[in-house]
Structure 1
Amino acid sequence: MKAITFKEFGDADVLQLADVPAPEVRPDDLLVRVHAAGVNRADLTHRTGGYGRPNFGDSTIMGLEIAGEVIETGSAVQGYKVGDRVMGVVGGGAYAEIARIDWRMAMPIPAALDYVHAAAIPEVFVTAHEAMLHLGGLRRGDSVLIHAAAGGVGSAAVQLAYATGAQIFATAEASKHERVVQLGADVVIDYRTEDFADVIKKTTNGRGVDVVIDFVGAPYFARNVAALANGGRLIQVGILGGGAQVAVELEQILYRHLQIKGTVMKSRAQAEKHAMVRRFREHWLERFDGGARLEPVVDSTFALARAADAHRRMESAANVGKIILTMAAEDLV
């Protein structure tokens, strides 16, 4: 089968289309003919050596989410059969014609969606639900600040917050504000020219927000704490801003009853990942089909052979929503 490989860590040019053996099916696996695969920030970290080795996870091939058709099932699989359309999160191996996925990490693709839009769902919407609703406890009538709201997880979080009935503050660069408002944000803040903590303080009459969803890390930490209401929850989903060290006034945590939680799907035990997917599926999956639909936000598509260009697109930070790789026959040359 065709897949994207790389022989050394480096820039996007290290990614190459190559012939590799198809993965073997284990008892809990679905073998899937991949039609589309999502590109994620973790893929960039993988490519540049941030995980320390090329086989971090379940495969030496990168990629964390797929959409495709089941072509074989393992002996312990329940609820799926050959021919089913599925999407889901894999432990690596998505940048390929064929991938294997633990059946408990898979979900049926809603009938209204094609493979490209299905591939834009699993990683970002599961992460957004876990961070904002399960860990952050967001409820109707709450307020939330969502950083990087035009990105994959950010755009998913805005939609889930809107569907929950929360007041939404979001940060994004000015050129992306209109799209973020269309997704449901009430107040969009230009992180380049405005101080989001000041905007929230003024807009909420000093109260702050109930939940902050942050991907940036150290450069935002103090202002995230300042933006929280008493009893507020800061959920740290990434550290894209660099730097792992922060300073915190413990009195702020104690006397304002704040909570700070971190979440990364990739490093969780498999049973915890199963639970994350199940929580999202039970709560939201039917909302991608029929009436008041959630929308997988697709920024752009690239043929598998152009994976390097897809990575450059993500590195440019120009995308609004997901970047997707496609595996049509004409894309594998």
Structure 2
Amino acid sequence: MRAIDFKEFGPASVLGLAELPDPVARPHDLLVRVRAAGVNRADVLHREGHYGRSDFGDSTLMGLEIAGDVVAMGSEVRQWQLGDRVMGIVGGGAYAELARIDYRMAMPIPGGLDYAHAAAIPEVFVTAHEALVHLGRLVAGESVLIHAAASGVGSAAVQLAKACGARVFATAKGAKLQRVRELGADVGIDYTTTDFAQAIQEATAGHGVDLIIDFIGAMYFDKNLASLDFGGRLVQVGLLGGGAPPVLDLQRLLYRHLHIFGTVMKSRSQAEKQAMTKRFRDTWLDHFSNRELGPVIDSVFPLARASEAHQRMESNESVGKIILAM
């Protein structure tokens, strides 16, 4: 099969097309003819050497989400048939013509969606649901601040938060705010020109929001805590701004009864990942068929141009998902 590989860690230019052995389905695996794969920030970190040459469960190759057709199955697979259109999160190996996925991680592609749009769903929407609903406990009538709202997970979180009945505040570059509002944000905040904590205080009459979903990290930490209402929840999903330890104001934490959660899918056990996938599938999958929810695609690149897809991600100019098409 053709797949993207690299001989040494480094910039996007190290990525190249290679002919590699086909993966073999294990007892609980579906073997999938990959039609499209999502590009994620974790792929850039993989390429740069942050994870070493680890095997993430399915492959040492790059890539965490796929959409395609089932071409073979392991002996313990249930529910699926050859030829089924599936999408899902894999433990590596998505940047290839064939990939294997534990059948309990696979989801049916919603009716009417092509492979590119299907590949834009699993990683970001499962992550967004986990942060907003499972950990963040967001319910109708509450308010939520979503940082990096034009990113893949951010754009998914805006849609899910709106579908939950929340009032949605979102930060993004000014040029991306209109698109973020179209996805459902009630208030868009240009983080390059506006102090988001001050904007939140003004918009909520000094109360703050009930929930914050943050991908940035230390540089936002103090302002995030200052933006939470009594009993507010902060869910830390990423550290795009760097992982330097912030200073925690314990008095604010105690006297305002705040809650802080951290979540990273990559470090979860397989059983936990399966549970996350099931929670999302059971709650939201039907909403894609009737177009109440929709994956946001920034751009689509052929597999051979994976290096250009990575350069697009590193430019920080994208809105939504970057996809590789096979």
TM-score range for the pair, normalised by the shorter chain length = over 0.9
Which ranges of structure 2 fall in alignment gaps of 5 or more residues? none
Please tell me whether residue 114 in structure 1 is matched to residue 110 in structure 2. Answer: no
What's the counterpart of residue 85 of structure 2?
85
Provide the C-alpha distance between the structure 2 equivalents of 1:265 and 1:249, rounded to a whole number of angstroms.
Answer: 27
What's the counterpart of residue 316 of structure 1?
315
Q: Encode CA deviations 1:103-157: one digit per residue, 9 max, x unaligned.
A: 1110000111000000000000000000011000000000000000001000000
Q: Percent identity?
A: 67
The structural deviation recorded for 1:260 is: 0.3
Please tell me whether residue 194 in structure 1 is matched to residue 182 in structure 2. Answer: no
Provide the C-alpha distance between the structure 1 equivalents of 2:86 and 2:264, rounded to a whole number of angstroms.
Answer: 23
Provide the C-alpha distance between the structure 2 equivalents of 1:56 and 1:277, rounded to a whole number of angstroms.
Answer: 17
* SS of equivalent to 1:257: coil
The structural deviation recorded for 1:56 is: 4.5
Provide the C-alpha distance between the structure 2 equivalents of 1:243 and 1:67, rounded to a whole number of angstroms.
Answer: 32
**TM-score, normalised relative to structure 2:** 0.99
Q: Is the 8 A contact 1:64 1:92 kept in 2?
A: yes
Please tell me whether residue 13 in structure 1 is matched to residue 20 in structure 2. Answer: no
Amino acid paired to 2:112: A
Q: Is the 8 A contact 1:46 1:54 kept in 2?
A: no
Q: Encode CA deviations 1:187-228: one digit per residue, 9 max, x unaligned.
A: 000011101000000000000000000000000000000000
What's the counterpart of residue 300 of structure 1?
299
Provide the C-alpha distance between the structure 1 equivalents of 2:159 and 2:217, rounded to a whole number of angstroms.
Answer: 22
Q: Is the 8 A contact 1:171 1:196 kept in 2?
A: yes
The structural deviation recorded for 1:51 is: 1.2
Q: Is the 8 A contact 2:30 2:73 kept in 1?
A: yes
* SS of equivalent to 2:79: coil
* SS of equivalent to 2:72: strand
What's the counterpart of residue 268 of structure 1?
268
Q: Is the 8 A contact 2:212 2:234 kept in 1?
A: yes
Aligned length: 326
What's the counterpart of residue 104 of structure 1?
104
The structural deviation recorded for 1:58 is: 3.0
User: How is 1:1-333 mapped onto 2 (pairs within 5 angstroms)?
Assistant: 1-53=1-53, 55-290=55-290, 292-327=291-326
Q: Is the 8 A contact 2:58 2:101 kept in 1?
A: no
The structural deviation recorded for 1:82 is: 0.4
Structure 1 residues 57, 315: CA separation in 2 closer, same or farther (over 3 Å shift)? farther
* SS of equivalent to 1:220: helix
Amino acid paired to 1:96: A
The structural deviation recorded for 1:54 is: 5.0
Provide the C-alpha distance between the structure 1 equivalents of 2:243 and 2:273, rounded to a whole number of angstroms.
Answer: 27
Q: Encode CA deviations 1:239-267: one digit per residue, 9 max, x unaligned.
A: 00013311011111111110000000010
Provide the C-alpha distance between the structure 1 equivalents of 2:197 and 2:259, rounded to a whole number of angstroms.
Answer: 17
Amino acid paired to 2:282: E
Provide the C-alpha distance between the structure 2 equivalents of 1:313 and 1:80, rounded to a whole number of angstroms.
Answer: 35
Which ranges of structure 1 fall in alignment gaps of 5 or more residues? 328-333
Q: Encode CA deviations 1:143-187: one digit per residue, 9 max, x unaligned.
A: 000000001000000000010110000000000011000000000
**TM-score, normalised relative to structure 1:** 0.97
